[in-house]
Amino acid sequence: MDLLQILSNTVSSILGPATIAYALAAVGLAVHFGYTGLLNFGIAAYMAIGAYGYAISVLTFGLPWWGGVLVGIVGSIIFSLILGIPTLRLRGDYLAIVTIAAAEVIRLLFLTNAFDAVTGSADGLSGYHDSFRAANPLPDGTFGFGPFTYNSTGWWVRIIGVLILAIAVLIVWSVMRSPWGRVIKGIREDEDAVRALGKNVFAYKLQALVLGGIFGALGGIVYALPSSVNPGVYVTSLTFFVYTALLLGGAATVFGPVLGAVLFWVVQTFLSNLLPALVVSGILPFMSTSQSQTLRFILVGVALMLLVIFKPQGLLGNKKELTFVKQ
């Protein structure tokens, strides 16, 4: 068992594209769920729209990589409007039902054979990297230090990812401390009270849905940047993994979703490296290596339950905020 290699992989995952993608999606979900109180269970669909929007516009329409990013963003805005206009006038639980169903509709649309020429159906999409890699200003070769040693493309993906994440965090931080954020948080507490004060609650909820949705789509794009678009990724469990990351860090915090995503992937990577190694060296009996991969999801589930029971406000959340929730 190579403990050093396991630890190195674990530390390396802090800066993984998947981590950054989850962090972006979790920031979007923080806007939806943590600040506005919108129960969006379709963040996976936003990520899929971002990823497919990017890949399809590069592959089918020959747009440059940044054009693909824009298409992904516009796609998420349209999706928000389609979802939001009929449902945001209703009570919160309806949005939850609609988003979870809409996420499946989106996934199946990308999966169906009918659009195989564009979406690649079950095979997904790949080979859209030329434009993105051509824009890479970094020199060729492998550089970095310790566990953070990547090749030129690896660094380029991470730099763009962190940059987008930083902008997203900055936007959330700046709007949530403003009067706009005050209205948004007021809507989370009681939308009738906010309505009685003359605020157009529906418009605010739609703005929040669009804003969070854009971050979700950007998360999907960053997820797709280094490798390929695979329809098997954007399943309902992705939504719940992003929720795990969000709740881990703290739902109504700016940096909580980022910290949560990092911790989520560090633990995931650690367990997926450690458990098979334990099986191979005979420390973990009654189990095959593939079974041990399932065990890690069980452990993540248990961890989430413990978290919600013992630290429901998340790692960065304000303890006082939760003290009053039961009233």
Partner 1 sequence: MSSNETPINEAPVQREKATNLHKGDIAPGVAKVDPIIIADGIRRTFGGLTAVDVDHIEIPRNAITALIGPNGAGKTTLFNLLTGFDKPDGGTWTFEGNSLAGMPAFKVARLGQVRTFQLTKALGLLTVLENMKLGAKDQRGEKFFSSMFPALWRKQDDAIEQRAMMLLKKFKLDAKSEDFAASLSGGQRKLLEMARALMSQPTLVMLDEPMAGVNPALTQSLLDHILDLKDEGMTVLFVEHDMHMVRHIADWVIVMAEGRVVAEGPPDEVMKNQAVIDAYLGAHQDVDLGVVTGRVAGEIPEEAQDLAAEVAALDSAIRNRAANDNPEKTS
- Given the rule CB under 8 A, which residues bind partner 1? 171, 174-175, 178-183, 185-186, 188-190, 192-201, 207, 211, 320-321, 324-325, 327
Q: CA-to-CA distance for 177 and 44, rounded, in angstroms?
A: 28
* Least Cβ distance, residue 190 to partner 1 (angstroms): 5
Q: For residue 288, what are the contacts with CB-CB under 8 A and spacing of at least 6?
A: 279
Whichever of 180 and 255 has its CB closer to partner 1, that residue is: 180
* Least Cβ distance, residue 197 to partner 1 (angstroms): 5
Cα dihedral 52/55/61/65 (nearest 10): 130
Whichever of 17 and 181 has its CB closer to partner 1, that residue is: 181
Q: For residue 117, what are the contacts with CB-CB under 8 A and spacing of at least 6?
A: none
315 by Cβ neighbours in 10 Å (0-12 / 13-18 / 19+) ranks as middle
Q: CA-to-CA distance for 53 and 47, rounded, in angstroms?
A: 10
* Least Cβ distance, residue 252 to partner 1 (angstroms): 8
Whichever of 97 and 308 has its CB closer to partner 1, that residue is: 308
Q: For residue 246, what are the contacts with CB-CB under 8 A and spacing of at least 6?
A: 26, 29, 30, 33, 34, 256, 257, 260, 314
Residue found under tokens 């999801």: 297
Q: Is the distance from CB of 234 to CB of 257 less than 8 angstroms?
A: no
Q: CA-to-CA distance for 259 and 245, rounded, in angstroms?
A: 8
> How many other CB atoms are there within 10 angstroms of residue 196's CB atom?
10
Whichever of 160 and 211 has its CB closer to partner 1, that residue is: 211
Whichever of 200 and 289 has its CB closer to partner 1, that residue is: 200
Q: Is 145 helix (H, G, I), strand (E, B) or coil?
A: strand
* Least Cβ distance, residue 323 to partner 1 (angstroms): 8
Whichever of 175 and 307 has its CB closer to partner 1, that residue is: 175
Q: Which of 277, 305, 282 shows the shortest CA–CA distance to 293?
A: 277
* Least Cβ distance, residue 79 to partner 1 (angstroms): 19
Whichever of 174 and 289 has its CB closer to partner 1, that residue is: 174
* Least Cβ distance, residue 320 to partner 1 (angstroms): 6
* Least Cβ distance, residue 129 to partner 1 (angstroms): 33
